[in-house]
Amino acid sequence: MGCAPLAYLLWSEIMNYAPSNPDWKNRDRFVLSNGHACALQYAMLHLVGYTVSLEDCMNFRQLKSKTPGHPECFATPGVEVCTGPLGQGISNAVGLAIAEKHLSHHYSPQVFSNYTYVICGDGCLQEGISSEASSLAGHLGLGKLIVLYDDNSITIDGPTSLSFTEDVGKRYEAYGWHVVAVDDVVNGLDNLRAAIAEAQAIDDKPSLIKVKTIIGYGSQKQGSEKTHGAPLGSDDVSFVKNKLGLDPTQAFQVDDDVRAFWADVTKAREARMKEWERIYSQFASSHPEVFKEIERRFAGECLNEEELIALLPKFEYGKDKDKATRQFSEQCLNALAVILPEVIGGSADLTPSNLTALKCSGDFQKNSPSGRYLRFGVREHGMAAICNGLYAYGGFRPFCATFLNFAGYALGAIRLSALSRFGVIYIMTHDSIGLGEDGPTHQPIEMLESLRAMPNINVFRPADSNEVVAAYVSAIRNRITPTVICCSRMPVTSLQASCAKKACLGAYIVLDNVEPQLILLGTGSEVNFCVQAAKVLVEQHGLSVRVVSMPCQEIFLQQPIEYQKDVLPGDIPTLSVEPSSNHGWHRFAHQSICMTTYGLSAPYDALLEHFGFSTANVIDVALLLLHFYKNRPVPNLRDRPDSGSKGFDNGLHH
């Protein structure tokens, strides 16, 4: 209610949009960063003619409605990003603004010239993620990003004086933003109108407009935290309706003159889109190849699996010298970036470690917006949220990189990639204790399981060059599922039988023998220990052993059950080998060589040896496993009924 004047002005005068085509490429992007205020956004979407009906508004927060409790981009036309987790929306907006600036310079300002508007509250500005993204936005001089800060002095706990007394405006000036204050939006909108015009005119700085508002304006509880989350109550609703000249006996009622006003507004906006379409079609005639590329990018079309594999680097077993999988990742990323201009991204200040520099492109900076390499700085959470914004704009396949362990800093935003169905590519190197000397603060233990437990995200831990190729092919092909590519710091020996095409199935046999008595199941840099151990077990112990490489659990579990059981029957003693928590491995393996503690600081070979990741230890444990089941039945781990879970109807089963 406090923000209503802001929304009124944005939708009636400021923003370009076309309810008939929510995907209009050059629409102004609007982000309600304080997503809990979404009733306001739904009301606006309804008034201006998006397919959000009055009935939808009445079904606010009900099962499968278009009006969930926080904005969801896949649920409601006109909603750009999922907001609610505080700080995410404003950080997404930085990505949306980068997207516009890049496309405008790379293609044409005639085609891409939109603004990004944000409404955010105190909560968003307290979150560290917004500090990270805002600092970078100032550095990059994103002049078309305009944030309206709903400065209502109230958070859930009470007045902001309890915990938030900093000078926000001064902080944003320090970030290099243009900051202006508007003290009143109750007695007229001229000041706000002027502030927005000023912000629009400043093209080398993002703008923060600090708008003093009154939470729950018009109600008896106005100005109190009691209006933050809880409903007003019917008495107070009547009170406020009376005060504002509305009929208190009517609910969900829009007067005809209001309808007529907004119909005119919408008509004018649709006309602007038509004018843009005219210009775009001229552009298409004069630049047919570029037009085709833009359309392809926004349609998300790409090469198929075979074509992509063919275009990515080939590695030959025995010919190339051992390299870290992060080095193969560097080659694959660079090969893709050359052919796919939609690939944009960077690292959280770990470029020389993550090996994500793009040889085909310079940095995206304030004065070089055609560049595709982003210097995110040491800002993991902001980085992931910015990538979500880039994806949300359309036409991009963003990537970002840090050490796997520091995915934990960015988890809030990674989760939103997955929930929002944004195919962001996460390149996470230094993926185990194998990173060595940096020690336990840097060595991931639980992170693989954290990510695997998340719905709609594919976690790859490739064993060698061919599996890195598979990870990138899968990442590019899966547009609505983000992919995490976990890479080693240390060199790996290529597997004789590794295969990009087979690795795209999630798991496959890399070494086999007739009627195997034992399966060694590994991922990433540890598969080679399994292969070496298997050879010894076959040659010296006369055993029949299979080795399975499982670069991606999620994708393996999507294969036909026949394939799954061909690879892992379930009733052959199976030993998994991964330097990580083994929670999820109980599904596939009878025993695990895993990490049950944090790591240590030491050279990687000493660490792997110490924690049991060696050929010798795989052999020892495998023999103990076989001994254990010598005189008792082997439980068939895969002979279980399917999950008894319901609710498979929201379009994403994994």
Residues labelled as active-site residues = 380
For residue 602, state whether it binds a copy of itself (rule: CB under 8 A): yes
Considering only 21, 53, 55, 128, the residue that binds a copy of itself (CB under 8 A) is 128
For residue 359, state whether it binds a copy of itself (rule: CB under 8 A): no
Q: Which is nearer to a copy of itself, 505 or 533 (CB)?
A: 533
Q: What is the nearest approach in angstroms of a copy of itself to the Cβ of residue 526?
A: 12
For residue 437, state whether it binds a copy of itself (rule: CB under 8 A): yes
Considering only 50, 175, 422, 529, the residue that binds a copy of itself (CB under 8 A) is 175
Q: What is the nearest approach in angstroms of a copy of itself to the Cβ of residue 222?
A: 19
Report the C-alpha gap between 490 and 88 in whole angstroms: 34
Binding span for a copy of itself by CB under 8 A among 266-274, 336-344, 536-544, 591-599:
591-599
> According to CB under 8 A, which residues from 272 to 291 bind a copy of itself?
none
Q: Which is nearer to a copy of itself, 174 or 194 (CB)?
A: 174
| Number of Cβ atoms within 10 Å of the Cβ of 524 | 28
Q: What is the nearest approach in angstroms of a copy of itself to the Cβ of residue 335?
A: 22
Report the C-alpha gap between 589 and 573 in whole angstroms: 7
Tokens (6 digits) for 67 = 């009006």
Q: At 515, phi and psi to the nearest 5?
A: 40, 70
Q: Which is nearer to a copy of itself, 78 or 85 (CB)?
A: 85
Q: What is the nearest approach in angstroms of a copy of itself to the Cβ of residue 634?
A: 8
- Residues 132 and 25: beta-carbon distance below 8 Å: no
Tokens (6 digits) for 92 = 């997404």
Binding span for a copy of itself by CB under 8 A among 174-182, 337-345, 422-430, 532-540:
174-182
Four-residue CA torsion sign, 309, 314, 318, 324 = negative
- Select from 622, 319, 251 the least CA-distant residue to 466: 319
- Residues 355 and 468: beta-carbon distance below 8 Å: no
Report the C-alpha gap between 399 and 397 in whole angstroms: 7
Residue at token pair 């405006």 = 169
Q: Which is nearer to a copy of itself, 456 or 458 (CB)?
A: 456
Between 525 and 564, how does the x/- string for binding to a copy of itself read (CB under 8 A)?
----------------------------------------
For residue 33, state whether it binds a copy of itself (rule: CB under 8 A): no
Report the C-alpha gap between 88 and 95 in whole angstroms: 11
Considering only 131, 432, 466, 498, the residue that binds a copy of itself (CB under 8 A) is 131
Report the C-alpha gap between 483 and 426 in whole angstroms: 6
Residue at token pair 């907004």 = 262
Q: At 604, phi and psi to the nearest 5?
A: -60, -35
Q: List the beta bridge partners of residue 250.
A: none
Name the H helices within 557-614.
561-567, 604-610
Binding span for a copy of itself by CB under 8 A among 211-219, 342-350, 492-500, 517-525:
342-350
For residue 630, state whether it binds a copy of itself (rule: CB under 8 A): no
For residue 327, state whether it binds a copy of itself (rule: CB under 8 A): no
Q: What is the nearest approach in angstroms of a copy of itself to the Cβ of residue 557?
A: 10
Q: Which is nearer to a copy of itself, 338 or 600 (CB)?
A: 600
For residue 624, state whether it binds a copy of itself (rule: CB under 8 A): yes
Considering only 41, 130, 329, 523, the residue that binds a copy of itself (CB under 8 A) is 130
415 half-sphere exposure, CB direction, 13 A CA radius: 13
For residue 3, state whether it binds a copy of itself (rule: CB under 8 A): no
Binding span for a copy of itself by CB under 8 A among 11-19, 468-476, 539-547, 616-624:
616-624
Report the C-alpha gap between 424 and 160 in whole angstroms: 35
Considering only 446, 479, 517, 563, the residue that binds a copy of itself (CB under 8 A) is 446
Residues 6 or more apart whose CB falls under 8 angstroms from that of 472 comprise 308, 312, 329, 332, 333, 336, 485
- Residues 6 and 21: beta-carbon distance below 8 Å: no
> According to CB under 8 A, which residues from 455 to 494 bind a copy of itself?
455-456
For residue 367, state whether it binds a copy of itself (rule: CB under 8 A): no
> According to CB under 8 A, which residues from 378 to 407 bind a copy of itself?
378-382, 405-406
How many residues does this entry show for the chain?
654
Q: What is the nearest approach in angstroms of a copy of itself to the Cβ of residue 80?
A: 14
For residue 637, state whether it binds a copy of itself (rule: CB under 8 A): yes
Residues 6 or more apart whose CB falls under 8 angstroms from that of 389 comprise 81, 91, 92, 93, 94, 95, 96, 97, 98, 99
Q: Which is nearer to a copy of itself, 116 or 354 (CB)?
A: 354
Binding span for a copy of itself by CB under 8 A among 182-190, 264-272, 424-432, 640-648:
640-648
Which residue spans within 237-386 are E strands per DSSP? Answer: 323-324, 343-347, 373-375
Q: Is 641 helix (H, G, I), strand (E, B) or coil?
A: coil
For residue 582, state whether it binds a copy of itself (rule: CB under 8 A): yes
- Residues 548 and 652: beta-carbon distance below 8 Å: no
Report the C-alpha gap between 446 and 433 in whole angstroms: 12
Q: Which is nearer to a copy of itself, 294 or 337 (CB)?
A: 337
> According to CB under 8 A, which residues from 292 to 321 bind a copy of itself?
none
Tokens (6 digits) for 179 = 């900051």
Q: What is the nearest approach in angstroms of a copy of itself to the Cβ of residue 199?
A: 19
Q: Which is nearer to a copy of itself, 407 or 492 (CB)?
A: 407
Size of site (CB under 8 A) for a copy of itself: 140
> According to CB under 8 A, which residues from 48 to 107 bind a copy of itself?
61-65, 68-70, 72, 82-87
DSSP letter at 584?
A: G
Tokens (6 digits) for 64 = 């499968």
Q: At 120, phi and psi to the nearest 5?
A: -140, 160
Q: List the beta bridge partners of residue 401.
A: 347, 427
Q: What is the nearest approach in angstroms of a copy of itself to the Cβ of residue 18?
A: 27
For residue 621, state whether it binds a copy of itself (rule: CB under 8 A): yes
